[in-house]
Chains A and B, each alone.
Chain A
Amino acid sequence: MKRFFAFVAIAAAFGFASCNPQKGPDEPEVKLFDVTVQLAVDGTPFAVEGITVDVADAAGTATYAPVTDASGKVALTLPVGSYTATATYKTSENGVKTLYSGSTSSILVIESASSYDFTLPLTKVESQQIIIKEVYATGCPAADGSAGNSDDAYVVIYNNSDVEADASQIVFGFCAPYNANGTNKYYTGDNLLYENENWIPAYNAIWWFTSNVTIAPYSQKVIAVFGAVDFTATNPNSVDLSNPEYYWMSNNEISQYSNKKYQVAEGIPATNYLTAVPFNTGNAWALSNSAPAFFIGKMEAATVKAMCEDADNYDRTLGDKPAFYVVKFPKANVVDAVDIWSEANVAKSQVRFSADINSGYIALTNKLGNTIYRNVDAEATKALPENEGKIVEGYADDPSGIDAEASIKAGAHIIYSDTNNSATDFHVRKVASIK
C-alpha cells in the first residue's frame, strides 16, 4: 500500500510540474523592430504630412497603412522580413495636377542589421495620353481538357484623355529577360545595371504601325500579338481577334519570322498590320506567356528600324551570341510599362524596369484565361459630368470598385489610374475584356 501511494505521488508530482500555460494575446513572441520609412524626391526628404504609405510583407500575411508625419516619415514596428512600401501623392503645383508615386521592395528588416531606417523614393509622374489598358498574354484553358496555349495573346492601348490621340508612332516591346523569375544578369546585388542609365534593354524585336493611327478620346486599339483569328471557333474559352478594327503584329514581311502558325482573318486590312526588325534569333516574337515586362514607346518608324539594325546599339550583358542581344531603348521614349510576374514564382522574381519607368509588379497564374487590366481612377472618372448615372460599381477586383467595361457599355468615359506602379495601376481580371 505504501508503495502504491509512493507511485501515485510520483505521478502527481510529474503532473503538476508539467503545467505551463500559454502566454496571453498581449505578449507577441516574435522579435519586433522599430522601422522608419522616409519619403524622398530626388534624394531630398519629401516633407509632406498625411501621405499613406502602404507597407506589405513578402510572406503575404499583413499590410500596414501608416501615415507620414510633418517630416514625411512613417514609423512602424515590424518583425524580420522583406517588405514593399508604396506611396502615391496627388497634389497641384502651379495650377497643374501633379502626381508623385514610388515603390520600393528594399525594406529588409534583417535581424543583425545596424539600422532600420529606409527611404522610399518618389518620382513625379507625368500623365500620359496613351496608356497600356490591358495585356492578355498568358493563355486560357483548352476546350477539351488538353493543354491550352497562348496563341490568342493581345494587348490594348487606350486614349486616357478627352482629346484625340495620334498613336502612329507608338511602338511595342518587352524588357529582358523573358520572365521575371529567370536569372537576370542585369542585376548586381539588389540593383539593376541600367537603373541610372538612360535606356532599358528591349528584347527580341520592337513593333511599329505601318499606317497612321488615331485613337478617339476614351477609346482603344486592340493589337493581336500572334494570330488574329477567331480562336473561339476551336476553343470557347479563348477570344475572337478577327474584328476588322483590330491590329495584328504581322510576320508576313519579316523573313526571319517564318512561323506560319500565326494567321490573320481576311477582314483585317493590311493597313492594320504592324511590322518589326528582329535583332535576336527565333522564328516568331517571343513575348512571355507567363511573366512579360511589356512596354510601349513613342518613336518614328524609321528611327526604330535603324536602332534595331545597328549592332552598335546592342547591349551584350546577357551574352555575346545573337540569341542574347538586346537593344538599348531610350527611357525618354518610353510611354508606359507593366511588369507582369508569375504567381507561382513570385518568391524568385525581380522587377525589370528601373524605378523611373515603372515600380512594382502585378502577378497572375497563366493558362486560366486571366488578363492584366488597368485600374480605374475613381476620382477622375466620377468627376466627369457626362458619367452621371453611367458608372457601374461593385466590381471587387478593381480597388476603385468600378466595373470599367460595364460602365463603358453604359456609355461612360473611363479615366484609368496611371501612377507608373504596376502593383497599384493594374489588377488581374478573370476574363479577357474583349470576350
Chain B
Amino acid sequence: MRFRIPAVLALMSLSASVMAQKADFKYVQDANPYLTSSNAAGLGRYNEPQVSLVELGFLKDNGGLVGIDGSDDDWKAELGTESYVRISDRIAFWGRLSYSYFKGKNMGGQMLMVPDFNPVNFIESSDTTLGFKSRETYSLAGGLAYSFNDRWSAGVKAEYSAGDMVKTKDPRYRNEMMDMDLSAGVMYSPTDLVSIGLSGIFRNRVEQLMAHIYGVTDKQYYAITDKGGFLGAKPELIEGDYNFVSESSFRPMANTFYGAALQFEIGRDVRLYNEFKYLVRSGYYGKKSSSSPVFFEFGGSVLEYNGDLIFKGSDKLRRIHLDASMQKIENNENSLRYTTQQGQNTVVEYLGQNKILSRTDLAANLKYDAYLGTSGIRPSFVYGVNASLFSRDQMTTLYPSYRKHSRTQIGAGAYGRKNFPVKSGMISLRAEASYLTGFGVAAEDGSFVPGASAKVVSFDTWMNRQFEYETAGRVGAGLELGYTFFFKKGMAAFVRVSDNFTRLLTEPQYLKSAQRNSLLIAVGLNF
C-alpha cells in the first residue's frame, strides 16, 4: 500500500486549473524525477500550480507466507496527504503528512521494528509465545525550493517520522522510534536542457527497546541475540538490566547517515536523469554512560544510483527507471566487564572490540512504464514491466566459529491499467502478475581453530523459516477496480478496491502456509 500524505493544508490553494495529468499524482512523480530526489532545489522544476492527494486506506492481509517478524492475520489503516505547490515564481513547496496504525495476530520472533535494517537483532527464543502486536507511525515532511534566477536555485527538505510498537503478550516489549532525515541542496541550470545538482544529506534514526514481563507466574522467558545469520550465544533470561535486552530501561539502536548526492539531468522531450548518492553509516546499540554498556558499534556505507530515461510525446510518455544500491556494514561487539572500586559506583570497563559481522547487500530494480493517451483527463492506458535483483553476502565471526550466509532473490512483474471514461468520471481496471525466486546458502559453518570447542548456538527454527520466506519461488496475481469522479474545478474523488494473491510454487517446509492475500480499499481526493 503506497499512501501519499498531503502537505499543510493552510499553504495549499485549490487551483481551478483543468490540466489533467497534474491530478494523477503518480504520473506527475514519474514524469518529474527531481520531485522525489534528495535535492529539494529540484522542486522548482515542476511548473504546474499544484498537485495534491489525500487518501485513506485499509489493508487486510491473511496468510502464512510472511517473515518471522510478520503476521499471518493483520490489518493496517493509513491516512495521508501530499502536495506539490508553486507558491510564486521563485518559491515551490512540497509537504507530506501521514498516520498509520497496524495490528497483527500471532506475532513474536523479532523484537525490533525493522529487523533487516540492523546488523544485530533480538528474537524471542520460543515460537510458543506469539501474541498481538500493534504499531503506530506518524510522519511529517516538507521541502522548500527558492530560485535565485533562471540558473541557480537552492532547497531544503526535512522528513520526520515517529513510531511505536508494543506486544501484548509475555514476553512483552515496547519500541519507540524516531527517524529524522534532512537535506539541503543547490542546482545549476546553464540552459533549459541541462541541470546539475548537489545536495548534502543527514539522517538520524533511533529505535529504543525495552522488555517487560507482566505475568505473575514463574515462567521464564528468554531472548536470543542474532549476531548474524541467526548465530549467537546461549539464550539470555529476560530479567534485570544486565543482558542485551533490558527489563528496566530503554536501550537505543541508533543509526546515523551522512553524505551527499549528485544529480544530473539533460534533455527535454527525451530526458536522462541521474542521481548518485553516497552515505556513510555509523551506529551503536546500548546506552552510552559510565554505568551502562554499549554492546555493539557498527559502521558502513551506502552507494545508490537512481536513473530515469523519459520519452515524452504529445500523447504518451515512456519511462525506463533503474535504481541500484550497494550497502556495506560491519558490526563490532564490545568486550566489557563491570568493575567496582571501593566506595564508588559500578562502572563499565571496555577491553576492546571484536568484529563479528561483515555484510554486503546489492540491489537493483529495472522498470518500464508506458502512459498512453496522456492528452486526456487521465492516461487511457498504462502498462509496465519490472525486474528486481537482491543479493546478500555476510560473514558472522564468533571466534573461533564462523558462519557464512548468502542469498539472491530475483523478481519480475508486469501490469496493465485501462481507464474507461464514463459520465463525469472514469472506471479503472488494473491487472498485474509477479514472479519471485531465490537461492543461496542459509548457513555454512566452520571454525578457525580445529579442535576448539564452540559454544555458539544456531537458532535454526527461526533461520529456516525466514530463509524459506526469502527464497522460495512464488507467483502472484492482482486485480484492482476503481472509480474516479471528476469535479468541475479540477478536483477528482476516487475509490478503489484491489486484491493481490501470492502463492508458493511448492508446499512449504517451515512456513505456516504457502499463500498470502492482501485486500486494499482506498478512498481519496486528487486536486
Contacts and interface: CB of A to CB of B under 8 A. Distances in A.
Given A18-B326, A25-B404, A344-B243, A61 B339 contact: no
B393 A21 contact: yes
A60 interface: yes
Contacts of B353: 80, 111
A385 interface: no
A147 B218 contact: yes
Contacts of A82: 335, 337, 351
A106 to B, nearest CB: 11
B242 A142 contact: no
Interface in B320-358: 320, 322, 324, 326, 328, 333, 335, 337-343, 346, 351-356, 358
A108 B351 CA distance: 8
A184 B360 CA distance: 45
A345 interface: yes
B288 to A, nearest CB: 18
B327 to A, nearest CB: 10
Contact of B309 (A4, A21, A81, A141): A4
A111 B351 contact: yes
B220 interface: yes
A62 B234 CA distance: 11
Given A18-B362, A20-B360, A63 B394 contact: no
B324 A148 contact: no
A33 to B, nearest CB: 9
Contacts of B358: 22, 29
B242 A348 contact: yes
Given A14-B305, A145-B217, A61 B242 contact: no
B170 interface: no
A65 interface: yes
Nearest to A345: B242
Contacts of A77: 449
Contact of A189 (B218, B272, B339): B339
A25 B396 CA distance: 11
A365 interface: yes
A108 B448 CA distance: 21
Interface in B469-523: none
Contacts of B217: 141-142, 145-147
A141 B218 contact: yes
B402 A25 contact: yes
B67 interface: no
B338 A347 contact: yes
A352 B29 CA distance: 68
Contacts of A30: 354-356, 397, 399
Interface string B390-404: 000111011111101
A367 interface: yes
Interface in A356-385: 365, 367-368
Contacts of B406: 22
A181 interface: yes
A234 to B, nearest CB: 15
B452 A62 contact: yes
A398 to B, nearest CB: 18
Contacts of A146: 216-217
Interface stretch (A5-13, A87-95, A281-289, A306-314): A5-13
Given A15-B364, A62-B401, A3 B456 contact: no
Given A3-B270, A25-B446, A345 B240 contact: yes
A326 to B, nearest CB: 15
Determine which residue in B340, B356, B362 has the highest number of CB atoms from chain A within 10 A of its CB, and name it: B340
Determine which residue in B240, B328, B335, B449 has the highest number of CB atoms from chain A within 10 A of its CB, and name it: B335
B218 A11 contact: no
A80 B267 CA distance: 57
Contacts of B446: 25
Contacts of B346: 183, 348
Interface in B201-217: 216-217
A110 B341 contact: no
A81 B324 contact: no
B326 A60 contact: no
A11 B393 contact: no
B237 A343 contact: yes
B16 interface: no
B220 A365 contact: yes
Q: Give the size range of A's interface with the partner.
A: 35 or more
Contacts of B322: 7, 11
Contacts of A64: 449, 452-453
Interface string A170-210: 00000000000101110111100100000000000000000
B194 interface: no
A79 interface: yes
B69 interface: no
A187 B342 contact: yes
B215 to A, nearest CB: 9
Contacts of B393: 21-22
A109 interface: yes
Given A21-B393, A22-B395, A187-B342, A60 B233 contact: yes
Contact of B233 (A21, A61, A181, A185): A61
B351 A3 contact: no
Given A20-B328, A23-B395, A62-B400, A3 B337 contact: no
A31 to B, nearest CB: 8
A270 B493 CA distance: 91
A320 to B, nearest CB: 14
B455 interface: yes
A368 B242 contact: no
A20 B393 CA distance: 9
Contacts of B340: 183-184, 187
B274 interface: yes
A212 interface: no
13 contacts: A7-B307, A7-B309, A26-B448, A31-B354, A60-B234, A82-B335, A82-B337, A82-B351, A185-B342, A344-B243, A348-B242, A365-B237, A367-B218
Interface of B: 216-218, 220, 233-234, 236-237, 239-240, 242-243, 266-267, 270, 272, 274, 303, 305, 307, 309, 320, 322, 324, 326, 328, 333, 335, 337-343, 346, 351-356, 358, 360, 362, 364, 393-395, 397-402, 404, 406, 446, 448-449, 452-456
The 10 closest A-B pairs by CB, nearest first: A111-B352, A80-B352, A344-B237, A18-B326, A188-B342, A81-B335, A63-B453, A145-B217, A367-B218, A344-B239
Given A22-B404, A190-B339, 17 more contacts: A7-B320, A20-B328, A31-B352, A32-B399, A59-B335, A59-B398, A81-B354, A112-B352, A141-B217, A142-B217, A147-B216, A147-B217, A344-B237, A345-B240, A347-B242, A347-B338, A368-B218
